[in-house]
Chain A
Amino acid sequence: METAILSRENFGALFESLNKLGYSIVGPTIKDGAIIYDRLQEVSDLPIGWTDEQTAGKYRLERRTDEALFGYNVGPHSWKKYLFPPRRRLWKANRDGKTLKIETESLPEEKLAFLGVRACEIQAILVQDKVFQGGTHKDPYYQTQRARLIVIAANCTEAGGTCFCVSMKTGPRCTKGFDLVITEILEASRHEFVLEAGTPTGQELLAHLPVRAATPQEEQRVDEGVANAARQMGRHLDTSGIKELLQRNYEHPRWREVAQRCLTCANCTIVCPTCFCSTVEDTSDLTGDHAERWRNWDSCFTMDFSHVHGGSVRSSPLSRYRQWMTHKLASWHDQFDTSGCVGCGRCITWCPVGIDITEETNAIRKSES
């Protein structure tokens, strides 16, 4: 069965099957006025009937007129928190007299199912794969958790207010990196899900579900849904030659202008699904014989980030905003052969002053023409 239909009444079977296969489910749920990612026990944990209204610097939950399960876009959380935890102990060290012993941390044993991963978010995971397991050194935690992951994606049939995945060629349709992809069909008289498997694991899961084969018309509904999302997308970022564009404009006056608005609060880096920077924290107990090393998410917007003896290399907000944006859109290509931006729009929504990465880039491009 290539494409299958799961009814809304049977959607709970997906939870049961995932649990039966040994997966803990994480996915969208409402907390503190936002749709975040957390542990899910049952279908009713999903943000049923809610959507997120987003513009630059604004995010609000709104009641939908229907009971959609996936009727929202992306919130302040991203899946990276499960593969690259915001705070994790790296190791413990013990000193016994003059002997130093270092004890490594145990690796995750839990199998996770990500439910409701959007196309842009799949790309973000693939980008972080390159960072944490694509080079000479591999992050053992990331590698272990990633290998134990099943990705249940959700195609976007409506665009969010700050989305630009079409420009970044990452969505709205999920084309890779998923085990199973869901497209929600919602009409007055029917509420169903079109399911497509992307891997043998996804096929196995599909075989556990009470589904029927999809008709060609139903398959077409997927095309129509993602086409609708693409049509609704309000933002555009011209990516042609973007690396060269930004790298020849390190001294552009626009950086000074955006630095007037940027609060260097680091929100954009924390909500970004690809930002991977971290710092370390060393602790010791009162005996002085037990120490630990922790890794925490960090942001290039802090002064400490670039501190070397004598001060910070990037002390001005200009240099820090420029570092973030040129890294995301330009030097990421040099480093990982991909853009660091997936077009999810989170940095635009969650910027307290509404700085828009598409607008900033377009301004620099426009000044050249």
Chain B
Amino acid sequence: MELVDPMCPLPFRVQKVSWENSDVVTLDLVPESSSTPTKFQPGQFSMLYAFGVGEVPISHSGSPTEPSRVTHTIRTVGAVTNAIGKLKRGDTLGLRGPYGTAWPLKEAQGKDIVVGAGGLGMAPLRPILYSIAQEREKFGKVALVYGARDPKDFLFKDEWEVWKKNDIEIHMVVGQSTSDWKGHVGHITTLIPRLKLEPEKTCAFLCGSEIMMRFTAFELEKRGVSKSHISISLERNMKCAIGFCGHCQYGPHFICKDGPVFAFDRIEELMRIREL
């Protein structure tokens, strides 16, 4: 009996390194073997292995219809992510995945879309924008509400024009303004009341800190958006990504397999509990 070991990564080669800002890098990765699948759904993540250092769960940030490579956007904060940040074009790393639940995009067809991103939370949301752009006519109004600590923290700036051309409204806000910033200052929550939306036909996808997602969801609810139409993406410590290691438990859920994407109404109560 040939048993597949789900804990074994497969080798991928770095095709492109793009630094988004001083500590966030986007890597395009191509599998060493052409038989390695690269398909994923927006919202899913993979485990990235830096040789000899360790493995980290990182969301897919690229286009789900890109046939031959995967893209991940990583903030270099710890030992593993710093090792990944040192990789150059042509270097190899290990990858296994994709894992977890996806943003419910199919259910959102025919509806208006609010994409709410906080900082690095933009990374797992970007595949949604690619998917929408592919079938733009299937969606109503699309608004990206994007908050960052300061203007240099915004990601994927070179794609904003393309998004706008695809009839995606972009609303931005920074926590701390700089002299060249002419936009809003404050929290993403302050932008929600200004959005032109038809609440009963709106779906929202949120990714950022838990407090940001929770309060953005509350603001959307105040506007009349149903909790079941709000999706959020959660993060926890993860060692295996396949439900064995127990680290990512969140009440009854395993973030790795029941999440990371959850409908807000499923976890709203759990989010109230400190240190769950």
Q: Bits for B60-99, please: 1 = Cβ < 8 Å to A, else 0.
A: 0000000000000001011000000000001111100000
Q: If A282-B52, A282-B53 touch, does A140 touch B3 (CB 8 Å cutoff)? A: yes
A137 neighbours in B (Cβ, 8 Å): 6, 242-244
A99 to B253, CA, bound (A): 37
A314 to B1, CA, bound (A): 41
Is A212 positioned at the interface, with any CB of B under 8 Å from its CB?
A: no
Is A131 positioned at the interface, with any CB of B under 8 Å from its CB?
A: yes
Q: If A279-B245, A305-B247, A335-B252 touch, does A99 touch B6 (CB 8 Å cutoff)? A: no
- Residues on B facing A (Cβ under 8 Å): 1, 3-11, 13, 32, 49, 51-55, 75, 77-78, 90-94, 235-237, 239-240, 242-247, 249, 251-254, 257, 273-276
CB-nearest residue of chain A relative to B248? A306
Evaluate contact between A93 and B237: CB separation under 8 angstroms: no
From A98, A247, A288, B92 is in contact (CB under 8 Å) with A98
Q: If A90-B8, A101-B11, A314-B275 touch, does A131 touch B244 (CB 8 Å cutoff)? A: yes
Q: Closest Cβ of chain B: how far from A106's Cβ, in Å?
A: 11
Q: Closest Cβ of chain A: how far from B182's Cβ, in Å?
A: 31
Evaluate contact between A308 and B244: CB separation under 8 angstroms: no
CB-nearest residue of chain B relative to A281? B54
A319 to B249, CA, bound (A): 13
Evaluate contact between B92 and A279: CB separation under 8 angstroms: no
CB-nearest residue of chain B relative to A277? B246
The 9 closest A-B pairs by CB, nearest first: A284-B52, A334-B252, A277-B246, A319-B275, A140-B3, A291-B52, A137-B242, A100-B92, A331-B252
Q: Closest Cβ of chain A: how far from B153's Cβ, in Å?
A: 15
Evaluate contact between A251 and B4: CB separation under 8 angstroms: no
Is A278 positioned at the interface, with any CB of B under 8 Å from its CB?
A: yes
Evaluate contact between B236 and A313: CB separation under 8 angstroms: yes
Q: If A99-B92, A250-B273, A276-B246 touch, does A309 touch B11 (CB 8 Å cutoff)? A: no
Evaluate contact between A93 and B275: CB separation under 8 angstroms: no
Q: Given known contacts A251-B273, A279-B247, A331-B252, what 11 new A-B pairs fall within 8 Å (CB)? A: A90-B7, A93-B49, A95-B51, A101-B11, A102-B94, A136-B257, A137-B244, A278-B240, A288-B52, A307-B237, A314-B275
Q: Closest Cβ of chain A: how far from B198's Cβ, in Å?
A: 35
A23 neighbours in B (Cβ, 8 Å): none
Is A138 positioned at the interface, with any CB of B under 8 Å from its CB?
A: yes
Evaluate contact between B239 and A279: CB separation under 8 angstroms: yes
Interface size on A, residues (CB 8 A): 57
Q: If A131-B244, A309-B78 touch, does A280 touch B239 (CB 8 Å cutoff)? A: yes
Is A144 positioned at the interface, with any CB of B under 8 Å from its CB?
A: yes
A306 to B235, CA, bound (A): 11
Evaluate contact between B246 and A300: CB separation under 8 angstroms: yes
A99 to B97, CA, bound (A): 20
Evaluate contact between A104 and B236: CB separation under 8 angstroms: no
Is A143 positioned at the interface, with any CB of B under 8 Å from its CB?
A: yes
Evaluate contact between A98 and B90: CB separation under 8 angstroms: yes
Is A268 positioned at the interface, with any CB of B under 8 Å from its CB?
A: no
CB-nearest residue of chain A relative to B56? A309
Q: If A102-B8, A251-B273, A335-B254 touch, does A276 touch B237 (CB 8 Å cutoff)? A: no
A218 to B4, CA, bound (A): 48
A135 neighbours in B (Cβ, 8 Å): 242-243, 257
Evaluate contact between B5 and A104: CB separation under 8 angstroms: yes
- Which of chain A's residues 118-156 have a Cβ closer than 8 Å to chain B? 131-132, 135-140, 143-144
SS class of chain B's interface: helix, strand, loop or mixed? Answer: loop
Is A283 positioned at the interface, with any CB of B under 8 Å from its CB?
A: yes
Among A91, A132, A137, the one with the most B-chain Cβ atoms within 10 Å of its Cβ is: A137
- Residues on A facing B (Cβ under 8 Å): 90-91, 93, 95, 98-102, 104-105, 107, 131-132, 135-140, 143-144, 247, 250-251, 276-280, 282-284, 288, 291, 293, 295, 298, 300, 305-309, 313-316, 318-319, 323, 326-327, 330-331, 334-335
Q: Closest Cβ of chain B: how far from A105's Cβ, in Å?
A: 8
Evaluate contact between B54 and A319: CB separation under 8 angstroms: no
From A93, A132, A283, B94 is in contact (CB under 8 Å) with A93
A201 to B245, CA, bound (A): 32
A107 neighbours in B (Cβ, 8 Å): 3
Evaluate contact between A93 and B5: CB separation under 8 angstroms: no
From A104, A132, A314, A330, B244 is in contact (CB under 8 Å) with A132
A327 neighbours in B (Cβ, 8 Å): 249
Q: Closest Cβ of chain A: how far from B2's Cβ, in Å?
A: 10
A330 neighbours in B (Cβ, 8 Å): 252
B78 neighbours in A (Cβ, 8 Å): 309
A105 to B7, CA, bound (A): 11
Evaluate contact between B251 and A331: CB separation under 8 angstroms: yes
Q: If A251-B273, A307-B237, A314-B275 touch, does A278 touch B5 (CB 8 Å cutoff)? A: no
B274 neighbours in A (Cβ, 8 Å): 319
Evaluate contact between B237 and A305: CB separation under 8 angstroms: yes
CB-nearest residue of chain A relative to B256? A137
A278 neighbours in B (Cβ, 8 Å): 239-240, 244-246
Q: Closest Cβ of chain A: how far from B17's Cβ, in Å?
A: 14
A140 neighbours in B (Cβ, 8 Å): 3-5
B235 neighbours in A (Cβ, 8 Å): 308
Q: Closest Cβ of chain A: how far from B45's Cβ, in Å?
A: 14
A308 neighbours in B (Cβ, 8 Å): 235-237
B53 neighbours in A (Cβ, 8 Å): 282, 284
A218 to B68, CA, bound (A): 70
